[in-house]
Chain A
């Protein structure tokens, strides 16, 4: 087990295509880090550079105190779990697990012991004599994990290991990976495009976009304080609503509506992108100041109901409890302390006023003044 230090690592392909742009991540010993982002964001490339399957164009990667830029993949003391399992089809499950150990000249008795232990942990003991093709997808995934575990490496690398499984199996395997990693305490680097997987698995998650890090943080930190509009729209489901507004003094203008923010207004005035999560909008009570929400269509999810529509011609999604009966357009109100502000130019988060740190306070009633 060891820490992994990724320092200013870049990947430049021929033709000057920069897939990863000067990325730095310090991974602590035993930490579970998830790299998340849309396809093409460089997350897999970064993982493969750590694995040694891609060359590192710039920067250094250290495992423990050893720089591994030029070290052969087999000598890096890491094990990788691949998306399509990558089991050796001509070997039995036992041979698949033992292969890496055998090549490292591990004594036979120890191989047997380690394979038996991993098989017990992953409940694949009955299949040790089978070939991979006689196994189901979930069993193959367990074998792939077993192959990583028996090696007892300094770090596990996971490359979208669950994306080939069906939805139900994915959820249970997700829990199992988390449990196993906690139990073994092995440093792990996990790549996924699924924000839910990222949120549930990570100790810390790294949101990547276009080869750059958008944000590193604990899952809830990233959820509650997204560093940019990209993170805001990527993490959380449904995606955070992003609408155009203007700050004038302590007031937020959304179309014809004016909302008094008090000391929660961002430091700079002018045009802003306002972020608000679907669950932070609620129906206004009788006599409360409200905005008119024109309903487009409704998605029923069972536990909640997503209402898609517009406020002042800007698209929004609203999460409501299914008990509420819907008829025609809605009057909605916003919890002002849950608003996020981003710069419309670069999408970066704009910090709010002094009272931000005190997030425990309850929502202040809105003061809405129609402009007419």
Chain B
């Protein structure tokens, strides 16, 4: 999915997002909404016609997703010649190599921690800002624009600006940490690099989450909030018992998007941080795939890794739908 077009309908408020959201979920295999949906179903005169309409989309998915996936699976069983002079079938050797490597398992552990932290902070800070912006009555358009603004900046530029925060000489965060006696050395110290990666990744994702949470909040009927205000004095308790449950569909959608973001789309951030030479610095699994494949010229091993990564995401998504979506209430 293209991130650019996604945010626009969300800004127009509740109904637009609702339609979108259920569309997204059905794309993921979420359950359809019962009878009323069935009644609206279009009847086609020829059974082949719907497939014809779907063909362009399916062709794109096939060329850009299934075809590379099949290639990856295939080459993961071969040892490729670095210069492209043929390949040798090695069976599961690439997989056993990867899974028994201590380095790979270490990177996997870091990826898990990294993904959990980025998802958690990007979601919670985005939610916090959305709740606060939603509560602002005077000049709220200005607030919202300022918060969404970051999202309008092209990702590489945003990443670069984020990196500047951690610049050894001019970075304000480095400066701030120095105040507290913490000498941040991005690219040199493992922990400092990891810290910077997480901060920049979270920073980039917050506006996205903010937009969705804000439109989700605005989709909650005013009367329901007012009814809650008369039923419950504590605003904090109201948030947990009424607002948050009603935001759950948005939150669930964002959870999946954010996990995927942390696993894959943070590639650019990591690349700028470690500058192509990871050395002892932390990297995630997707960066390892790139390093081994394109820097190490080990296409077989790299393919095996990407197949493993694909399986992880697959399992994770199924898990989310089976165990978390159950608790989500759709209107």
A interface vs B, CB < 8 Å? 51-53, 72-76, 78-80, 82-90, 99-100, 103, 131, 133, 147
Contact = CB atoms under 8 A, between A and B. Distances in A.
Given A88-B242, A89-B246, A99-B232, A82 B227 contact: yes
A99 B237 CA distance: 11
Contacts of A147: 227, 231
Contacts of B232: 74, 99-100, 103
Interface string B234-263: 100100011001101000000000000000
Contacts of A75: 233
A19 to B, nearest CB: 17
Q: Considering the complex of A and B, which 3 residue pairs feature the smallest CB-CB distances, nearest first?
A: A86-B223, A100-B231, A74-B233
B226 interface: yes
A82 B223 contact: yes
A72 B233 contact: yes
Classify the interface of chain B: helix, strand, loop or mixed.
helix
A326 B229 CA distance: 59
B331 interface: yes
B233 A89 contact: no
Contact of B331 (A53, A82, A85, A133): A133
B326 to A, nearest CB: 13
5 contacts: A73-B226, A80-B227, A82-B226, A86-B223, A89-B246
A147 B226 CA distance: 14
Given A99-B241, A103-B237, A88 B230 contact: no
Nearest to A83: B223
A53 B221 contact: no
Contacts of A51: 226, 230
Among B221, B223, B245, B329: residue with most chain A CB under 10 A: B223
B230 A52 contact: yes
A73 B229 contact: yes
A78 B246 CA distance: 25
B107 interface: no
B246 A90 contact: yes
B241 A73 contact: no
Given A80-B230, A86-B223, A103-B234, 8 more contacts: A72-B233, A73-B230, A78-B230, A87-B224, A88-B227, A99-B228, A133-B331, A147-B227
Among A82, A90, A147: residue with most chain B CB under 10 A: A90
A99 B153 CA distance: 44
A151 to B, nearest CB: 8
Interface string B173-214: 000000000000000000000000000000000000000000
A76 B230 CA distance: 8
A133 B331 CA distance: 8
Nearest to A132: B331
Contacts of A87: 224, 227
A80 B329 CA distance: 25
A90 B331 CA distance: 8
A103 B228 CA distance: 10
A52 B231 CA distance: 12
Contacts of A89: 224, 246, 329, 331
Contacts of B226: 51, 53, 73, 80, 82, 86
A350 B158 CA distance: 74
Among A76, A78, A82, A87: residue with most chain B CB under 10 A: A82
